[in-house]
Amino acid sequence: MNTSIAPVQTPPQPAEPHEPDPSAASPTPPRPPRRVVVPSLAGPLSGGLVFVLMLLDFGTDLGRQAVALGYGANFFEAQGNAFLDGRIDVPAYVMGIEGFLIDGKTYMYFGPFPAILRIPVLLVTDDFVGQMTVVSMLVAFVVFAVFTTRLVWLVRSAILGDTPVSTRESVLAGIFLAGVTGGTTLTFDAALPWVYHEVYLWQTALVVAAAYWLVRLGIRPTVRGVAWLGLVALCAVLTRTTGGWGVCLGTIALAGWMFRGRSFAGRRRLAPLVLVAGALPLAVGIAYNMVKFGHPYLFPLQDQVWTTLNQHRRFALEANGGTITGPLFFPTSLVTYFDPRSIRFVDYFPWITLPGHNAHGVGGAVIDQAYRTGSVTAFMPLWLLMALAALPTVLRRTRPRHLDHRGRDGDDGQGVRALRPAVVATVFMTGGVMAYGYLAFRYTSEFVPALVVGSTITLWAVVAPLARRSRAVTAALAALITAGGLFSMAAETATGFAAAATTHRGPALERYLDLQSRLSGGPGSSFAALISRSDHLPRGGSADQLHVRGACDGLYLNTGDTYEPWIVVEERSNLVSVGLPSSSARESVDLFVVHGKATRQVFLQTFDDGSAQVGIRNETGVYYGPLFRPYPGEDVRVGLRTDPTIGYLEVSSTPGGFVGYVPLQEWYADWVSRIGWVEPVYDQAVTLPGSRLRIKPAEGLTPPLCARLVDHNLARD
């Protein structure tokens, strides 16, 4: 008899719900379909073309600088070299008015991340000091474009799930990517390659990258994703405080969401790591600022060199309790950055400009400094409307749709809820500029990450579903996004092109004005109406006006700026010819008097042995050029040539050569820039008694641009 016991048959149990292992390696992703690849390349490349043209100022110079003297182009190189020397402080002469003098050392308020990027180059050579800004900004834009593209498709996955991308969606995505990469304040920033704009390129790129990783962790949490988020957060907090703090607090918010019981176990296991990814970079940023300035995030403006020089800065600090940050500035920022009227349309090139006057305080707020400032509403209207339209999607309490390949509701992933930490991070970072008593158009860059995230959500939550209705609806939506993107591209490019010309001046400004005249000038034109003439320097006026002094003795442009209302475009050189007798004596003869903040003289010094030299007498002393001996019968020609790029007169002689510089356009005690003028001591030929020096004034060449503008736009007398 078989006494063996039959094995107990265990009834089948229901399968446990599958939970993703966050530490498991992801399988090799399939190649993205063509409907994803084509818009992902065509869109950013189109927007990138606009950006690169502005970055290079329609040229090819990768070492281009915003101003001719290179100020603001070498701050990060100085910081990088300081790091290599084991220091944080930087040379005072590099920082100028931007330096913070604390305990005898000068510090910069910019974050160190762009300086760290330069260290590999600085280890090899110093040949590119002051010439790396353009390349750095270009790399930052590439990072921005790449992560904007990845974010667009990731947000689609969060909202629409794994449904195949339709042709209509592909077209809309490509148009959107072109507009959002080329039609933001970043394009304006590209026009001026200096540290002030470079940090905004990097901040925007890093915050958008962080937004991508925040969304990705909300959908597919992995240890690798947490590591990337922590790295990006660290880079962001070491670039700009506002963006860095926004990213870190958004990361901490994501960690708090993961701790909630409704999240699946994989999220809860990663929550402590996500918390560290947000808190640790924040602690590093706080520690770095504490070492320099003794505060978690603020700068001691009372210790800035600019504060010691500018009376209005001191007044603003006193009026606002020692700071220029706080909620009292919110109404001013709200009006400045969101007033739809903060743009100006004109009927001459470039047709779209910044408002014709500086921004101003609202509600009695005492502003530190304010410049001509366009608004988000006026310059990026479509992205703002789309971002606002995303709020119902983000804030609704219902579980968002996550569709499978058949278009049915699924229950895997977190959908739209995964977008909320990114929205929190990008919106929170705008709080800094909204509470800051300093107004400038570049500060609208602070809103770009929020606009990118918000408009992307609307693209997939609102626009894509509407596009499914019919081809006509799709065509209308495509036309709307195209028009909005092209308008923002045109507005940012037009203002950037003008800003590059008026900031750098010299040939760039001459090219800009010549283009204005050729495209929109002519007798009786609106451009011709901007030109005035008199025998004196310009007074008063409004933005874009041109003034001709005398018979093209000088050409000047009104910038519309309160601090620097008129700038020199070009001036006729001042010349004088001096004949020396066969036997000369020791004598000093003044040839020119330069009137400005102080009175300076240019003189000729002769000696008993027949030699001579040209000198400059100013408020600090007397300075001489090279000693020379003219050939018998040779006249000495002394000239003063205006260099508009630096606002100085270059003094030289033939023979002899370069003598020195005399200021022409200077900042006065009220920190308003004014233009000086040259007075020749002799306005007709004369032979001096006693020394027998023969002095004969000569007329310099007519400035070519002034002559063309007058001939093309003004009726002859």
Cβ neighbors of 4 (< 8 A, separation 6 or more) are none
Question: What is the pLDDT at residue 32?
Answer: 82
- Answer whether the bond into residue 704 is a cis peptide, omega within 30°: no
Question: What is the pLDDT at residue 9?
Answer: 45
Q: In what order do the strands lie in the sheet with 531-534?
A: 531-534, 546-549, 554-558, 566-571
pLDDT at 4 over 80: no
Q: Which two tokens stand for residue 399?
A: 């579980």
Residue 467, CA distances (Å) to 95, 454, 460, 462 in order: 53, 19, 10, 9
Q: Which two tokens stand for residue 327?
A: 């909620």
Distance CA 540, CA 136 (A): 40
Dihedral sign from CA coordinates of 527, 192, 185, 440: negative
Residue 575 phi, psi (nearest 5): -130, 150
Query: What percent of the chain has a predicted confidence (pLDDT) above 90?
Result: 86
Give the mean model confidence (pLDDT) for residues 104-111: 97
Query: Smallest Cα–Cα separation from 384: which of 461, 444, 473?
Result: 444
pLDDT at 717 over 60: no
pLDDT at 182 over 50: yes
**Beta strand 686-687 pairing with 587-595:** unpaired
Distance CA 508, CA 514 (A): 10
Query: Smallest Cα–Cα separation from 379: which of 553, 499, 224, 543?
Result: 499
Q: Which two tokens stand for residue 544?
A: 């874009």
Band of pLDDT at residue 692, cut at 50, 70 and 90: confident
Dihedral sign from CA coordinates of 365, 368, 374, 375: negative
Distance CA 551, CA 286 (A): 60
Question: What is the pLDDT at residue 582?
Answer: 79
Q: Which helix (H) or strand (E) holds 479?
A: helix 471-504
**Beta strand 574-579 pairing with 694-699:** antiparallel
Question: What is the pLDDT at residue 259?
Answer: 85
Which residue has 């993703």 as its token pair?
A: 20
Q: pLDDT tens digit string along 322-353?
A: 999 999 999 999 999 999 999 999 999 999 99
Cβ-based neighbour number of residue 227 at 10 Å: 13
Query: Smallest Cα–Cα separation from 603: which of 590, 621, 617, 620?
Result: 590
The number of angstroms, rounded, from the C-alpha of 604 to the middle of its chain's C-alpha atoms is: 46
SS (H, E, C) 55-118: HCCCCCCCCCCCCCCCCCCCHHHHHHHHHHCCCCCCCHHHHHHHCEEECCEEECCCCCHHHHHH
Question: What is the pLDDT at residue 13?
Answer: 45
Number of alpha carbons in the 13 Å side-chain half-sphere of residue 276: 8
Give the mean model confidence (pLDDT) for residues 531-541: 96
pLDDT at 467 over 70: yes
Question: What is the pLDDT at residue 129?
Answer: 96
Question: What is the pLDDT at residue 11?
Answer: 44
Q: pLDDT tens digit string along 204-229?
A: 999 999 999 999 999 989 999 999 99
Q: pLDDT tens digit string along 133-151?
A: 999 999 999 999 999 999 9
Complete domains list, the chain, with CATH:
34-69+133-499 (no CATH), 74-129 (no CATH), 507-570 (no CATH), 573-700 (2.60.120)
Q: pLDDT tens digit string along 427-457?
A: 999 999 999 999 999 999 999 999 999 999 9
Give the mean model confidence (pLDDT) for residues 68-77: 95
Residue 658 phi, psi (nearest 5): -65, 135
SS (H, E, C) 317-367: HHHCCCCCECHHHHHHHHHHHHCCCCCEECCCCCCEECCCCCCCCCCCCCC
**Beta strand 566-571 pairing with 531-534:** unpaired
Q: Which helix (H) or strand (E) holds 708?
A: helix 704-713
Q: Which two tokens stand for residue 337?
A: 């950055």
Residue 371, CA distances (Å) to 354, 560, 561, 563 in order: 10, 9, 7, 9
Question: What is the pLDDT at residue 691?
Answer: 79
pLDDT at 246 over 90: yes
Is the pLDDT higher at 31 or at 361? 361
Contact 96, 305 (CB under 8 A): yes
Distance CA 518, CA 708 (A): 10
Question: What is the pLDDT at residue 2?
Answer: 44
- Answer whether the bond into residue 644 is a cis peptide, omega within 30°: no
Task: Give 100's strand partners.
Answer: 107, 304
Q: Which of 260-264, 468-472, 537-541, 610-614 has the lowest mean pLDDT?
A: 260-264
Band of pLDDT at residue 619, cut at 50, 70 and 90: very high
Q: Which two tokens stand for residue 652?
A: 């030289």
Band of pLDDT at residue 23, cut at 50, 70 and 90: very low
Band of pLDDT at residue 20, cut at 50, 70 and 90: very low
Q: pLDDT tens digit string along 345-397?
A: 999 999 999 999 999 999 989 999 999 999 999 999 999 999 999 999 999 87
Contact 316, 328 (CB under 8 A): no
Mean pLDDT over each residue of the chain, to the nearest integer: 92
Dihedral sign from CA coordinates of 303, 309, 311, 316: negative
pLDDT at 178 over 70: yes
Cβ neighbors of 65 (< 8 A, separation 6 or more) are 73, 130, 131, 133, 193, 194, 504
Contact 360, 325 (CB under 8 A): no
Distance CA 354, CA 491 (A): 9
Is the pLDDT higher at 676 or at 401? 676
Question: What is the pLDDT at residue 261?
Answer: 56
Q: pLDDT tens digit string along 480-524?
A: 999 999 999 999 999 999 999 999 999 999 999 999 999 999 999
Residue 525, CA distances (Å) to 531, 554, 596 in order: 10, 22, 35
Give the mean model confidence (pLDDT) for residues 297-306: 95
Question: What is the pLDDT at residue 414?
Answer: 60
Question: What is the pLDDT at residue 265?
Answer: 64
Q: pLDDT tens digit string along 647-669?
A: 999 999 999 999 999 999 999 98
Residue 392, classified by CB atoms within 10 Å of its CB into exposed (0-12), middle (13-18) or buried (19+), is exposed
